[in-house]
């Protein structure tokens, strides 16, 4: 058995960056609501938190977010897909940075820069019904290169 | 016991899953991506600790970001003598030692973004004959004196964003003669003095970026009689600080916009007073709130371009005066209900008007832009534009209009000669706006100068052969996403009137077949896009009319290509057959042979794979070698075989007869 374990440990030890999944983090947690996330970008993890986890979600949530840019973000787009029981329920696309309309102060930052954002996300208030929801979120730039890929799990008790 | 067994099997499985991945990963570490052979290489994210031996000495452009090079020495890049562009983003560089680039004579760009630099030696940048672009973004710099100034006299761009700099003053040892771009984005610059600006005067036509610096004061007269190509003070809380500081300066483009994540003061007319004493050609003031008053515009009278994107207007005040110079007005992302609410008469000399992404339903109105006789370019896309029958009353008097964008709007009904008011139109974009053409079969009549027409996803009547009548100058036509009834492009289709067309896009049109002569009159066609249809090999008869065309047949249902089509393929310039279920059996051998002989014509060969037989599914066509007896050889063998049989039987027969009658 030891013989068989050797390649396993060797592969885990020597190729840590090639493990297929990043650990699951907690963005916020409360008696009624829990938000978990995991990076689905094979290159890197990112940091994210929500200032509180009330249900119903309040308007203009404050978030904190940190990552390293692997590409320039002259233009940045957000795709969001919401799933319940593996069925797609809702999806939308939102331009975050455009050349003629950089909405946020981080628009236009360069490859290699560390980004830290603490502020509002301009969301409307909405209640979350009991259950488990999965949200796939992808931020990508003008060349369709992934800037952030995230799998969110929202559990409402 | 069962548990131990299970965990053993589990780890075995994991080991077998992970080990090959790891092997691939380590071999990948040696492998930079070759973008252009012997010239351009990408070695990003490979965890490299040195320049790989495998890189040719002729490499000119090297992307080496996200590796590990704690100190740069003269030996680090000495082998790559031809380097022109070197990107060392986030390589954990601490030290740039003496003569780090001494052997790189041709180096013109060095990117050092995101490296925790501790020290750069005085001669760090010596060597390159003309270093033009230096990026030191987010390197932890607290003073510009950190940058060694030797050999920077040719510098054209210097990026110093996201550091801890508190002054824009350049050292007196820095000859900024050729400097065109100086970027201080997101630093800690709070004060600007006369002395600071004086240090920039050696540069002419400079673009200075001070976005995201919380500037609290600018010394009076600091910018007196200085000239800039562009100045960016994006996100500044109080615009009057900047405008007072810019007295008697000359700037082509002044960016004073704000952002969603920045708290700023509402702009009142007196905060803009300083603008009256500065010379600015183009002003951007996006995402700010104004008190809705005519007075806001009193110091805008010298402007040629004004960008009021997302400035929360429901209507622009009437009675704005003196805006005769304004050529370009951007009113994107505002909240007008009616196009007349922009009071276009206040801007009589506009050539370019943008009302994109309006947040309310925008009534196209009647003649709202009638006073804009010089208007050349009008963009009303994504604005939920609604209208009665379009577009003559709406576009009244716009006789010089060349470019009209009405894409992504509410459904429109086009009348007969819908663009009679703008006969000079060259580009017309209606994509993703549902068009009804019941009122007239030929709405585009009289647009003789129209070169580009985008009707993608407009759900137009594709069965109407009159639809495109009058467009004899049309060069580019996009009809993607408009389904063709019955799936057949017939020989008397709507394309016949547009015979000067060079680019034709018919992707996602639910086409199953193209009838012979369907493209009969399109002799000038250079690019034909038929992607994402359901065309089969037998439905491509119409292509025989095309010559030297770039043919895109990706993502169709093409299985076999009839041999009669191969000469037709041979006379085209480029062919894309990717994502088709191509047959890789002997029944398609003629095509497979042709494919290998014409690989230079094939676009996207990586995705051109077999769909059949199952054993070859997913295999690249260029890798398939079939040994099918060709029919000619088969016939020769068959004839030889028959001849042998006949001759043998004759010989045997003779012997038999001879033997039989021998005894007589």
Range 317-376 of B in CB contact (< 8 A) with A: 330, 332-333, 357
pLDDT recorded at residue B661 = 67
- Per the CB < 8 A criterion, the answer to whether B256 and B264 are in contact is no
The residue length of chain A stands at: 157
Does any CB of chain A come closer than 8 Å to the CB of residue B288? no
Distance CA B178, CA B171 (A): 15
pLDDT recorded at residue B602 = 95
pLDDT recorded at residue A96 = 94
| CB-closest option in A68, A108, A117 to B90 | A68
d(CA B14, nearest CA chain A) in Å: 7
Q: What digits encode the pLDDT tens for the residues B197-255? A: 999 998 999 999 999 999 999 999 899 989 999 999 999 999 999 999 999 999 999 99
pLDDT recorded at residue A126 = 82
Q: Compute CA distances B137 → B187, B262, B283, whole Å.
A: 10, 22, 27
Residue A70 to residue B66, Cβ atoms within 8 A: yes
d(CA A4, nearest CA chain B) in Å: 6
Distance CA A108, CA A72 (A): 7
pLDDT recorded at residue B630 = 53
Distance CA B267, CA B270 (A): 8
pLDDT recorded at residue B541 = 86
Residue B104 CA, chain-centre distance (Å), reads 32
Q: Hey, what are A25's tokens? A: 């983090």
* Residue whose C-alpha is closest to residue B422's, from B473, B463, B370: B370
Q: What digits encode the pLDDT tens for the residues B333-351? A: 999 999 999 999 999 999 9
Burial-class residue B597 by CB neighbours within 10 Å (0-12, 13-18, 19+): exposed
Q: What digits encode the pLDDT tens for the residues B524-573? A: 999 999 999 999 998 898 898 899 999 999 999 999 999 999 999 999 99
pLDDT recorded at residue A121 = 82
Residue A103 to residue B11, Cβ atoms within 8 A: no
Distance CA B550, CA B604 (A): 13
Measured between CA atoms, the residue of chain B closest to residue A14 is B22
Q: What is the mean pLDDT of residues B377-390?
A: 95
The residue among A4, A97, A98, A111 with the most chain B CBs within 10 A of its CB, best to mutate, is A111
Q: Is the pLDDT of residue B633 over 60?
A: no
Q: Which chain B residues are within 8 Å of A7, Cβ to Cβ? A: 15, 18-19
| CB-closest option in A101, A112, A120 to B90 | A112
Q: Is the pLDDT of residue B461 over 80?
A: yes
Residue A8 to residue B14, Cβ atoms within 8 A: yes
Residue A122 to residue B65, Cβ atoms within 8 A: no
Distance CA A78, CA A105 (A): 16
Q: What digits encode the pLDDT tens for the residues B419-459? A: 999 999 999 999 999 999 887 889 999 999 999 999 999 99
Average pLDDT, chain B: 90
Question: What are A92's strand-pairing partners?
Answer: A80
The residue among B260, B333, B357 with the most chain A CBs within 10 A of its CB, best to mutate, is B260
How many other CB atoms are found less than 10 A from the CB of residue B50? 10
Residue B455 CA, chain-centre distance (Å), reads 20
Range 68-107 of B in CB contact (< 8 A) with A: 89-90
Q: Which chain B residues are within 8 Å of A12, Cβ to Cβ? A: 18
d(CA A98, nearest CA chain B) in Å: 12
When computed from its CA atoms, the radius of gyration of chain A, rounded to whole angstroms, is 18
Contacts A–B by Cβ distance under 8 A: 104
Does any CB of chain A come closer than 8 Å to the CB of residue B45? yes
Question: What are B209's strand-pairing partners?
Answer: B183, B232
When comparing pLDDT for B659 and B214, which is higher? Answer: B214
d(CA B91, nearest CA chain A) in Å: 9
Q: Which chain B residues are within 8 Å of A108, Cβ to Cβ? A: 185, 211
When comparing pLDDT for B255 and B415, which is higher? Answer: B255
Least confident of B478-492, B581-595, B640-654: B640-654
Q: Hey, what are B157's tokens? A: 């761009």
Q: Is the pLDDT of residue B21 over 50?
A: no
Distance CA B56, CA B47 (A): 19
Distance CA A140, CA B304 (A): 34
pLDDT recorded at residue A127 = 87
Residue A4 to residue B259, Cβ atoms within 8 A: no
* Residue whose C-alpha is closest to residue B386's, from B368, B409, B366: B409
Does any CB of chain A come closer than 8 Å to the CB of residue B497? no
Residue located via tokens 């270093």: B131
Q: For residue B601, what is the DSSP state? A: G
How many other CB atoms are found less than 10 A from the CB of residue B48? 18
Q: Hey, what are B168's tokens? A: 């824009």
Q: What digits encode the pLDDT tens for the residues B79-136? A: 999 999 999 999 999 999 999 999 999 999 999 999 999 999 999 999 999 999 999 9
Range 73-112 of A in CB contact (< 8 A) with B: 100-112
Distance CA B413, CA B435 (A): 6
The residue among B18, B46, B184 with the most chain A CBs within 10 A of its CB, best to mutate, is B18
pLDDT recorded at residue B662 = 67
**Predicted ipTM?**
0.85
Residue A17 to residue B47, Cβ atoms within 8 A: yes
d(CA A131, nearest CA chain B) in Å: 32
Q: For residue B346, what is the DSSP state? A: G
| CB-closest option in B18, B138, B330 to A12 | B18
Mean pLDDT split into 10-residue runs, chain A, 157 residues = 44 45 90 92 93 83 93 96 90 94 94 92 84 94 95 91
Residue A103 to residue B287, Cβ atoms within 8 A: yes
Q: What is the mean pLDDT of residues B499-518?
A: 94
pLDDT recorded at residue B373 = 94
Q: Hey, what are B549's tokens? A: 């065309």
Residue located via tokens 């075989």: B641
Residue located via tokens 């990107």: B87
Q: Which residues of B366-382 are buried (b: 16+ CB within 10 A; e: fewer)?
A: bbbbbbbeebbbbbbbb
Residue B290 CA, chain-centre distance (Å), reads 34
Q: Hey, what are B29's tokens? A: 């570490």
| CB-closest option in B19, B161, B333 to A101 | B333
pLDDT recorded at residue B1 = 39
Q: How confident is the model at residue B579 (pLDDT cuts 50, 70, 90)?
A: very high
pLDDT recorded at residue B635 = 64
Residue B19 to residue A122, Cβ atoms within 8 A: no
Distance CA B245, CA B227 (A): 13
Q: What digits encode the pLDDT tens for the residues B346-367? A: 999 999 999 999 999 999 999 9
- Per the CB < 8 A criterion, the answer to whether A115 and A130 are in contact is no
Burial-class residue B520 by CB neighbours within 10 Å (0-12, 13-18, 19+): middle
Does any CB of chain B come closer than 8 Å to the CB of residue A143? no
pLDDT recorded at residue B31 = 86
Q: Which chain A residues are within 8 Å of B310, Cβ to Cβ? A: 101
Determine phi and psi for B263, rounding to 5 degrees. -85, 125
Residue B179 CA, chain-centre distance (Å), reads 28
* Residue whose C-alpha is closest to residue B24's, from A14, A43, A145: A14
- Per the CB < 8 A criterion, the answer to whether B370 and B347 are in contact is no
Q: Is the pLDDT of residue B650 over 90?
A: no
- Percent of chain B at pLDDT > 90 equals 80
Q: Which chain A residues are within 8 Å of B307, Cβ to Cβ? A: 100
For strand B328-330 and strand B305-307, is the pairing parallel, antiparallel, or unpaired?
parallel
| Straight-line distance from the first to the last Cα atom of chain A, in angstroms, rounded to the nearest whole number | 44
């Amino acid at each position: 058995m030891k013989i068989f374990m050797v390649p396993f440990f060797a592969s885990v030890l020597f190729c840590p960056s090639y493990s297929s999944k990043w650990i699951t983090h907690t963005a916020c947690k409360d008696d009624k609501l829990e938000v978990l996330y995991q990076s689905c970008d094979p290159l890197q993890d990112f940091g994210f938190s929500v200032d509180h986890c009330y249900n119903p979600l309040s308007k203009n949530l404050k978030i904190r977010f940190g990552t390293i840019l692997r590409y320039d973000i002259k233009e940045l787009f957000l795709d969001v897909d919401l799933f319940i029981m593996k069925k797609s329920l809702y999806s939308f696309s939102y331009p975050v940075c455009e050349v003629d309309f950089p909405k946020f102060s981080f628009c236009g930052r360069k490859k290699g820069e560390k980004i830290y954002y603490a502020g509002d996300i301009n969301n409307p208030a909405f209640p979350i019904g009991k259950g488990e929801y999965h949200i796939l979120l992808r931020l990508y730039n003008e060349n369709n290169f992934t800037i952030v890929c995230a799998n969110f799990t929202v559990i409402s008790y | 016991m069962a548990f131990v067994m299970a965990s053993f099997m589990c780890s075995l499985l994991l080991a077998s899953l992970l080990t090959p991945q790891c092997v691939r990963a380590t071999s990948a570490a040696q492998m930079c991506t070759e973008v252009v052979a012997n010239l351009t290489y990408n070695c990003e994210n490979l965890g490299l600790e040195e320049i790989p031996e495998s890189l040719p000495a002729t490499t000119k452009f090297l992307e080496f970001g996200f590796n590990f090079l704690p100190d740069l020495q003269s030996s680090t890049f000495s082998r790559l003598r031809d380097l022109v562009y070197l990107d060392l983003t986030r390589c954990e560089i601490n030290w740039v030692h003496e003569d780090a680039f001494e052997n790189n004579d041709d180096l013109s760009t060095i990117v050092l973004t995101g490296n925790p630099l501790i020290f750069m030696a005085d001669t760090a940048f010596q060597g390159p004959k003309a270093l033009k672009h230096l990026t030191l973004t987010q390197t932890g710099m607290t003073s510009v004196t950190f940058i060694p100034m030797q050999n920077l006299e040719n510098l054209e761009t210097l990026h110093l964003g996201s550091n801890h700099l508190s002054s824009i003053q350049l050292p007196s040892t820095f000859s900024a003669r050729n400097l065109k771009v100086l970027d201080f984005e997101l630093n800690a610059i709070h004060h600007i003095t006369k002395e600071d600006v004086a240090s920039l005067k050696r540069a002419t036509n400079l673009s200075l970026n001070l976005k995201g610096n919380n500037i609290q004061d600018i010394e009076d007269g600091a910018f007196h009689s200085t000239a800039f190509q562009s100045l960016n003070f994006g996100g500044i809380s109080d615009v009057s600080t900047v405008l007072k500081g810019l007295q008697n300066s000359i700037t082509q483009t002044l960016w004073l916009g704000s952002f969603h994540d920045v708290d700023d003061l509402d702009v009142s007319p007196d905060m803009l007073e300083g603008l009256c004493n500065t010379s600015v050609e183009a002003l951007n003031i996006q995402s700010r709130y104004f008190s809705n008053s005519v007075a806001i515009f009193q110091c805008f009278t010298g402007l040629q371009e004004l960008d009021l994107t997302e400035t929360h207007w429901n209507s622009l005040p009437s009675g704005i005066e003196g805006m005769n110079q304004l050529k370009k007005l951007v009113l994107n992302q505002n909240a007008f209900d009616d196009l007349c609410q922009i009071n276009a008469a206040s801007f009589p000399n506009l050539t370019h008007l943008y009302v994109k992404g309006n947040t309310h339903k925008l009534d196209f109105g009647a003649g709202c832009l009638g006073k804009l006789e010089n208007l050349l370019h009008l963009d009303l896309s994504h604005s939920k534009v609604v209208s009665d029958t379009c577009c003559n009353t709406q576009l009244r008097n716009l006789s010089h209009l060349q470019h009209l964008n009405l894409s992504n709007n509410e459904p429109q009904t086009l009348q007969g000669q819908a663009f009679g008011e703008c006969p000079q139109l060259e580009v017309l974009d209606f994509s993703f706006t549902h068009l009804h053409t019941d009122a007239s079969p030929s709405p585009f009549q009289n647009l003789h100068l129209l070169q580009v027409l985008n009707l993608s996803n407009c759900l137009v009547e594709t069965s109407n052969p009159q639809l495109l009548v009058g467009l004899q100058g049309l060069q580019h036509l996009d009809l993607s996403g408009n389904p063709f009834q019955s799936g057949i492009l017939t020989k008397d289709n709507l394309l016949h009137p547009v015979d000067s067309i060079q680019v034709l896009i018919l992707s996602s049109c639910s086409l199953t077949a193209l009838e012979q002569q369907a493209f009969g009159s399109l002799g000038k066609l250079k690019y034909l896009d038929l992607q994402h249809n359901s065309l089969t090999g037998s439905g491509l008869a119409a292509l025989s009319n095309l010559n030297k065309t770039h043919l895109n047949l990706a993502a169709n249902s093409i299985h076999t290509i009839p041999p009669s089509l191969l000469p037709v393929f041979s006379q085209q310039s480029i062919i894309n057959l990717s994502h088709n279920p191509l047959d890789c059996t002997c029944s398609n051998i003629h095509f497979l042979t042709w494919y290998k002989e014409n690989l230079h014509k094939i676009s996207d060969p990586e995705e051109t794979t077999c769909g059949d037989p199952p054993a070859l599914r997913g295999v690249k066509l260029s890798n398939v070698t079939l040994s099918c007896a060709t029919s000619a050889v088969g016939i020769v063998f068959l004839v030889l075989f028959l001849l042998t049989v006949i001759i043998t039987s004759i010989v045997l027969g003779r012997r038999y007869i001879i033997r039989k009658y021998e005894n007589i």
